[in-house]
Homo-oligomer: A and B are copies of this chain.
Amino acid sequence: MTTLVIGAAGQIGRMIVSKLHERGEPVIAMLRKPDAELEALGVEIRFADLEQDFSHALAGCDQIIFTAGSGAKTGADKTILVDMWGAIKLVDAAKQAGVKQFVMVSSRGAEDPDNGPAAIKHYSVCKKIADDYLLASGVNYTILRPGRLLNEPATGGFSTTMPDTKDAQIITREDVADACIYCLQTSGTLNKIYPLVNGDQPLTESLI
């Protein structure tokens, strides 16, 4: 099973590509521009842009992990064009290509933007709409909605119960990367949506 990673130049995407490659799993990194670190790994790279026609990048791919995001440095227009519209068109392309599983890295707040943090409500709306599009597409999905992302190393401990306290809604990027990979290998995660934070359960007990 070949996995295409969208957002491979991002922090989580980079870890996913690297970890899959280390395990000997066929992995393809979709990139907008050359990336020495990923090229040095020796993984297959396909140049494509979510804002352009990227259908060529999906050829021969069985699984997709979407962890792309326009990031906090660009405006809300890019949130629309990349995080929402790019994801929607990727779902269409995945359906057309017969992709067997689409793992979406979503966000806390996407389940109910009106009751989430006001400062990022526009972002939560875009993520929700992309998630809903995937849900309705007929493509097998797994949607992860992590809390605030930390740069610490993997803890290996998870919980799918989002804590009420905002400060406790946290998870390391490496744990998210591990969770994405776990989803690909575990049919029980098909067509499920998981809030995800660090906690005290292993993946085998939390993503059920």
Contacts and interface: CB of A to CB of B under 8 A. Distances in A.
A115 to B, nearest CB: 11
A170 interface: no
Contacts of A126: 80
Contact of A79 (B80, B85, B121): B80
A85 B85 CA distance: 14
A192 interface: no
A162 interface: no
Contacts of A81: 121-122, 125
Contacts of A181: none
23 contacts: A75-B75, A75-B76, A76-B76, A76-B77, A76-B79, A76-B80, A76-B122, A77-B79, A77-B122, A78-B122, A79-B80, A80-B80, A80-B122, A80-B125, A80-B126, A81-B121, A81-B122, A81-B125, A84-B125, A84-B129, A85-B113, A85-B125, A129-B129
Contacts of A77: 76, 79, 122
A88 B186 CA distance: 35
A117 to B, nearest CB: 13
Contacts of A84: 125, 129
A85 B118 CA distance: 14
Contacts of A121: 81
A80 B76 CA distance: 8
Contacts of A78: 122
A192 to B, nearest CB: 23
Given A75-B75, A77-B79, A85-B113, 6 more contacts: A76-B76, A77-B122, A78-B122, A79-B80, A80-B80, A81-B121
Interface string A121-150: 110011001000000000000000000000
